[in-house]
Structure 1
């Protein structure tokens, strides 16, 4: 079988995350999905120059924001201005977006069920609120991959202890939208190491019990 021409590239960038009066140092995963000709960037974090270098001479179809926390969107306007690519964000996270970029709105809304296509590969938008109201994941069935942003990590759900977040909501999102995916699905996260749906699914009740 001929392998698909599409590939996933991975970049780690470093910066800060600020919310509710606190600021923390963070390392973010930036994902690029495409082929030698066109690509999407998932989460333009911290370093527009490094992300543009990873894009290279490919056509950047869009900058997908899995959610509106500033560490996932801080480099998005600069990358958009440099490449002409639109910024995509679920409208329910525009309140978070405006905290970082009050004078620059996203270009296109993301909605549950939207399908984005790159290099013949479909990315389906899954609205997974909880970490933030407009958090989304991107499922690429033919690659057996889901890009989970900060909704699901190796070891549990994303944080829900800050404004605009909800632990019961993120658990419901993970249960209904992510753990229903095939167990071999690779979960490419917003921070840290990747995992699989099969590795995380058995621990759902543990997360609920400890209110992770």
Structure 2
């Protein structure tokens, strides 16, 4: 069982602005089957990383363009379904007006790959349908843009809310074991134990 990180580069666009970004694409599985978490920017690089393994699903932590802009190409070339929480449909439709996700993610849902289970945690705030994926057997949680090394994801743009992301982090993430590795949508990993002491600082900073 392995967790692989692929970093891809491209642009994030929302509210009339565009920013250059590097994204973490996570591959979770073994030498037979794998899931991709957040198919960002570069379908060829993602498919190369998947190799000859069966791609079970493309799982989207949220539908900002930089996290889904390679999802359709990866799915179409492998037959894998795209999974997204339905509350992010408004963001998805900005990127793919003519193609919907294949399956809906729901809080508490379990995704199985290579004998390991990832539990879906609905963590709105950065986006309405943002989710994190908790894999207790891997001592890991894949947080997308909900929690980073150093604090919450951004909430200054459309369809985001600071109070909501703080509630999500406090109630859904900081309750996980402290040694849980936080594998983020951008940048370096951290841990629940490293981030949890700073909650009050983030709240003060956000107001």
Q: Which residue does 1:42 correspond to in 2? A: 37
Query: How much has 1:20 moved relative to structure 2?
Result: 0.2
Q: Which residue, out of 160, 169, 181, partners 2:176?
A: 181
Q: Which residue, out of 170, 182, 185, partners 1:190?
A: 185
Q: Structure 2 regions of 5+ residues with no counterpart?
A: none
1:161 aligns with 2:156: yes
Structure 1 stretches of 4+ moved >3 Å: none
Distance 1:71 1:21 in 2: 14
Q: Which residue, out of 18, 26, 32, partners 2:13?
A: 18
Q: Which residue, out of 105, 113, 117, partners 1:110?
A: 105
Count of residues in Structure 1 that have an aligned counterpart in Structure 2: 207
How much is the aligned-residue C-alpha RMSD, in angstroms? 0.6
Q: Which residue does 2:93 correspond to in 1? A: 98
Distance 2:140 2:125 in 1: 21
Query: How much has 1:13 moved relative to structure 2?
Result: 0.1
Q: Which residue does 1:3 correspond to in 2? A: none
- The 5 A counterparts of 1:41-190 are 41-190=36-185
Q: Which residue does 2:202 correspond to in 1? A: 207
- Secondary structure of 2:28's match? strand
1:29 aligns with 2:24: yes
Distance 1:210 1:195 in 2: 20
TM-score (normalizing by structure 1): 0.97
TM-score (normalizing by structure 2): 0.99
Distance 2:127 2:5 in 1: 24
- Secondary structure of 2:11's match? strand
Distance 2:89 2:70 in 1: 16
- Deviation track 1:136-167 (CA, whole Å, cap 9, x = no partner) reads 00000011000000000000000000000000
Q: Structure 1 regions of 5+ residues with no counterpart?
A: 1-5
Distance 1:118 1:84 in 2: 16
Query: How much has 1:77 moved relative to structure 2?
Result: 0.3
